[in-house]
Structure 1
């Protein structure tokens, strides 16, 4: 066993009763380091840190938020995303959180989506795709998600400028280029047959040809829930850093129903991707993400806030190479 890792595990073991120390120790670690720590801790003490955090989460009401956050942070990234998807789909707890599902299908390569689905089935003995199909009552997001599921199954890595231009023109002709609501069938057909990079190129061509973003066209006319859902999906595809920066800001300000949006984005987007999101956040809102978290009136003070600040600052303070995790999870 690596001596430095053993030393880390001893410090963590000694900190189990002091959540503040534990949170600060783990927040600055990469996923590769956390994996080694979990393995070493299990070998040294015969217990999985995940299980210990779950016990703490059940026993300590005052520190439940940080224990739950630490639990999610310690999970393997693929298993973590599977857990988040299951929580998003669990209608016994609350309404379906469609943004979690959108972010997975839009922000993950097809090969990684397959692994998340496998982790979902292994952990919950359920088929993710079937759970999406079974969402009740039907919602416009469901139509788009079903199309994205099909898109990933027919994924092609290459992108075509010609196809992008043709699709952009079809979107215009069946949207703002005609009176009334957009043609949902055309949108869903395009979404089901094109990869995410291809769709991103399509929206870029749309802006180049018509002089504005496709999402701006969704504000025209008497549009409804489908257009609202489509707008969110398109923003996530076309400009992910801006999309995620808005998620973070809305969560910090408490102006969203997206439960868990703050920790989800900070944990799932990887070190390298978070750097770009934080740059967009600072440019758009005039402050560092960590500063916004510290000043938030909607985030409980104490260990949970300290943990979030540590997550927010880890990409700026680390000097070692942390691109391994970001490559694996992109």
Structure 2
């Protein structure tokens, strides 16, 4: 279920918001509260208005300050522009590719959104995202899955079919769990490339209905290797995005070192999508409010204020 933004007060114009932002550079907590409270369309208007009034790009200004304000700059981008940046960083920012960040984009976004991401990526980096994924070296099982999912978003029927879901779930069983516990990569990739995310979700639910357990239970078998593990992550993202994100956030906060990059990526991208559901799943699974977990794990300061403001934004909607 999507969540609503707090929104711009009717008593405030974009010019007054820009003035408040301009006057708040020495008060970062105020700046964080103002910017987190804006919707995507309002953020775009504020960025354009700020440029007209002060002749400066607000995003560039934020990126020159600390991590909290640098993170705030991502809120000023449209969701698909932000995901294009995330995809680029996942591919090239570190020594190894961040496949999970890419999988989140291709499984937890609508097809219309993914197509806009592909356009934004091409416009910004002058290369197709598909081509950059295909050129990853060395080859990896996630790479095969990403190529299949990308094809799925580009061409698939809009309607979902219970009949197709039953047929696909039986194919997955017969070429996997029912075939001496093996997994036929070609069959999995074919299904991933020809079905929408909604259709795949129905297929996984159909699998559980027919065989009495989740498809992911079979994929726990370590003998299935990296491909089986990758398919398991994809299936979890498709079947329960909120549950997947709640577990990932818990790992970010309670791991040996706090994974700020992953935590920020999730909270910013899901803030206006399903963060309320993520918080409920987090509380249900771990017995702790997400906000309290953040405060316990992140030192006091602007960055913690930024993350808490994202949570507060949801709770006040």
Same fold (TM over 0.5): yes
Could you tell me how far apart the structure 1 residues matched to 2:286 and 2:312 are?
17
Could you tell me how far apart the structure 2 residues matched to 1:179 and 1:250 are?
33
- Measured against aligned partners, the alpha-carbon deviations of 1:220-256 in whole angstroms (never above 9, x if no partner) come to 4722111111100000001111011111111111358
Counterpart in the other structure of 2:313: 314
Could you tell me how far apart the structure 2 residues matched to 1:124 and 1:279 are?
37
Counterpart in the other structure of 1:175: 176
Q: How many residues align?
A: 307
Q: CA RMSD in A?
A: 1.8
CA contact (8 A) 1:110 1:155 kept: no
CA contact (8 A) 1:281 1:287 kept: yes
- Measured against aligned partners, the alpha-carbon deviations of 1:144-199 in whole angstroms (never above 9, x if no partner) come to 11111111122211111111111111111111112153111111111111111111
What runs of 5+ residues in structure 1 fail to find an aligned partner? 57-62, 319-330
Could you tell me how far apart the structure 2 residues matched to 1:26 and 1:316 are?
16
User: How far is 1:281 from its partner?
Assistant: 1.2
User: How far is 1:93 from its partner?
Assistant: 2.6
Counterpart in the other structure of 2:100: 99
TM-score calculated relative to the size of structure 2: 0.92
Could you tell me how far apart the structure 2 residues matched to 1:280 and 1:286 are?
9
- Measured against aligned partners, the alpha-carbon deviations of 1:259-294 in whole angstroms (never above 9, x if no partner) come to 622111111124241111111111111122111100
Could you tell me how far apart the structure 1 residues matched to 2:252 and 2:305 are?
16
CA contact (8 A) 1:272 1:315 kept: no
2:39 equivalent among 14, 27, 30: 30
- Measured against aligned partners, the alpha-carbon deviations of 1:19-50 in whole angstroms (never above 9, x if no partner) come to 33222221222222212221221222111211
CA contact (8 A) 1:180 1:221 kept: no
Could you tell me how far apart the structure 2 residues matched to 1:3 and 1:285 are?
40
1:43 equivalent among 39, 52, 58: 52
CA contact (8 A) 2:220 2:232 kept: no
CA contact (8 A) 1:250 1:256 kept: no
Q: What does residue range 1-330 of structure 1 map to in structure 2 within 5 Å? A: 3-56=12-65, 63=66, 65-90=67-92, 93-220=94-221, 222-254=223-255, 260-296=261-297, 299-318=298-317
Could you tell me how far apart the structure 1 residues matched to 2:98 and 2:259 are?
7
Could you tell me how far apart the structure 2 residues matched to 1:237 and 1:3 are?
40
More moved, 144-153 vs 29-38: 29-38
What runs of 5+ residues in structure 2 fail to find an aligned partner? 1-10
